Structure 1
Amino acid sequence: MTQWARALCAVAVAVMTAVGATAFVAQADSQPYVPALGVESKYFQPGPWAVIEEIGFGCCDATGSKYDLWYPTDLGAGGAQHPIVVWGNGTNAMPSRYAYLLRHLASWGFVVIGTENQQTGSGRDILGSLSYLKGLAADPATIFFGKLDTAAAGAMGHSQGASGVLNAMAASDGAIKTAVPIEIPAQLWCSSGITCADSRKLTSGSVFFVNGSADRFISPSTQALPWQAVGLQSNQAYYEATATSVPKVWATLDGPDHNDVQGQPDCAHASTPCTSGVDGYLGYPTAWMMAQLRDDAEARGAFRTGTGEFLSPAPNWRNQSSTVSR
């Protein structure tokens, strides 16, 4: 059993002992989200770590914005070295808008940091949040000292922040190992003051593109004309334009619209317009981070070309594509 696995087991016991915007009328789900049996089901469930949320934990990024953090309560339990996930907000959103998803990631042992900057498309301040957290990990006066795996950092973001995490990874000189862009905007939105990304600039790392089937306006699945002629106007185009040397996956989640990732498990409890809620974004994106940052063989196998669980006909998903070969 690896040190990481021992830590998970130790914390699972501890947790089981310890745990007994704009107003609108949300549309409730007709049916709850049911994950596929196997890897998605495993990582759809909350992980074994209790989680601390700290809003306005520290200051500041290049714009003067504070950082928000989600991290395991018992940092370093069992000798664990926690991987890092840096978060990128959608336009005019704050990390707290995504608290359900970010808390879920932290429950699987990740330390998650997001700048409160509401314009993250350049990736500059997303990358800056990684530097900030690495500084805490090197400071003996902080609770993070010696407890983070600073060589295992990934990035996840929504909308403009999805563009931001690609830009941050491209500029990170390998420090960001993987990215999960959720609802990445078509490049036509760049003319509206939104900073976009170009996946052709990725030369290292790995990427998992995720979009919702109802998001046909901002982050469509496909486009009528080839991207070589009209640019990256769809998730399929971003996926196809990414170099073959970069392991990549793309899939469309059935049901969600552009902002569902900001929600709670169902739309009845969401704080933003919502179609089906955040549930579908929990299992496979978490598994991807476990595969890429913790070398979780079971999770990695789910995305493997030809044989992976995720690539067979899967409930809730369509357009599954992958170049992951091992």
Structure 2
Amino acid sequence: MSHRRRLTRLALTAVLAATAFLPLQAPASAQTAFPSVNGNWGAPGPYATAVEIGAVNTLYYPRDIASSSRRHPVIVWGNGTGGAPLVYRDLMLHWASHGFIVSAANTPMSNLGISMRLGIDELAARDDDPSSAFHDRVDLANIGASGHSQGGAAAIVVGADPRVDVILPIQPGPLADIDDVHVPAFLMAGQYDDIVHPFLVKAFYYDATHIPAIYGELRKADHFTIVGDPGPFAAPTTAWFRLHLMDDAQAAPVFHGPGCGICTDTATWSDVRRNSLVP
């Protein structure tokens, strides 16, 4: 072997030996944890927000999403009968301030969930489009479905979509089949709701023996408490989605364990039930 080749091999060996002990670098696309809110689920989150009104869906999302260093989970929303996203604007912006992209169906008749599914399709296309502010910023592996009244039933319908990871039906109407859902469900009712009576929501809960299911009945809430200022709906819904779509460990005690937050907060909740599949 020539002297030059021997020196080259020795140099290469030295480089390989040195780099073997260097720390591994995380890939540029790796997710970092979302900012903690220290359990203040009902307070505005750390993100400034923006709104985009489209033909099929209205988007509520973090304003700096184009320059964000992470992908953001998705919530698709269905309105109550005759409603529009504007009716629920405060709740949608609250979720967006916590880092979620909310796609709210513009339809006043959401029960079939068609526009909600189209919202997922649209965000998937934007995530794939290099010219979009949402390019590589949509976390399509973490999608939740929610809605109020007829839209609550739509959240159950959309919960059968394999792309959806968790559902949050709020005072859901009866036209849905929870047997088709295969993801965790938090079914919310209002103690004084005389349109979607609590027993109707409980019927979904009792039928959901195949999935982790929670029934939560907000004390003194009627069917329209959520309209405008979401009041008591803001904190538990945010905690639910942060737990399941952001892996926020601080939210787990709100729902899990023998002394879970909603189980012991009798000032806020008039009835809470959890089936045996809930941790």
Q: TM-score range by the shorter chain?
A: 0.7 to 0.9
Tell me if structure 1 keeps the 8 A contact 2:57–2:119. yes
Equivalent of residue 153 in structure 2, options 157, 163, 166? 163
Query: Would you say 1:198 and 2:177 are equivalent positions?
Result: yes
Tell me if structure 1 keeps the 8 A contact 2:57–2:115. no
Q: Note the alpha carbon deviations across 1:190-240, whole angstroms, 9 max, x for none.
A: xxxxxx1121222x1111111111103x21112xxxxxxxxxxx1111101
Equivalent of residue 165 in structure 2, options 177, 180, 183? 177
The answer for the alignment partner of 2:5 in structure 1 is none
Alignment partner of 1:122: what SS? Answer: coil
Given residue 58 of structure 2, which amino acid in structure 1 is its aligned partner? D
Given residue 213 of structure 2, which amino acid in structure 1 is its aligned partner? K
**Cα gap change, 1:93 to 1:325, in 2 (>3 Å):** closer
Tell me if structure 2 keeps the 8 A contact 1:4–1:81. no
Tell me if structure 2 keeps the 8 A contact 1:69–1:112. yes
Structure 2: any 5+ residue segments left out of the alignment? Answer: 1-29
1:77 shift after superposition: 5.3
TM-score (structure 2 length as normaliser): 0.84
TM-score (structure 1 length as normaliser): 0.72
4+ runs of 1 displaced by more than 2 Å?
Answer: 2-5, 323-326
Structure 1: any 5+ residue segments left out of the alignment? Answer: 13-37, 60-65, 188-195, 223-233, 265-277
Query: Would you say 1:219 and 2:196 are equivalent positions?
Result: yes
The answer for the alignment partner of 1:142 in structure 2 is 132
Equivalent of residue 53 in structure 2, options 31, 39, 55? 55
The answer for the alignment partner of 1:192 in structure 2 is none
Q: Note the alpha carbon deviations across 1:6-58, whole angstroms, 9 max, x for none.
A: x537xx9xxxxxxxxxxxxxxxxxxxxxxxxx84xx100000000001223xx
The answer for the alignment partner of 2:225 in structure 1 is 260
The answer for the alignment partner of 1:282 in structure 2 is 234
The answer for the alignment partner of 2:185 in structure 1 is 207
Query: Would you say 1:310 and 2:262 are equivalent positions?
Result: yes
How many percent of aligned residue pairs carry the same amino acid?
28
The answer for the alignment partner of 1:243 in structure 2 is 209
Given residue 201 of structure 1, which amino acid in structure 2 is its aligned partner? D
Query: Would you say 1:321 and 2:273 are equivalent positions?
Result: yes
The structure whose Rg is larger is 2
Coordinate RMSD, CA, aligned:
1.9
Distance 2:67 2:266 in 1: 35
Distance 2:74 2:221 in 1: 27
Q: Note the alpha carbon deviations across 1:149-184, whole angstroms, 9 max, x for none.
A: 1110001101101011110111x1x21111111111
Relative contact order higher in (CA < 8 Å, ≥ 6 apart): 1
Tell me if structure 1 keeps the 8 A contact 2:143–2:165. yes
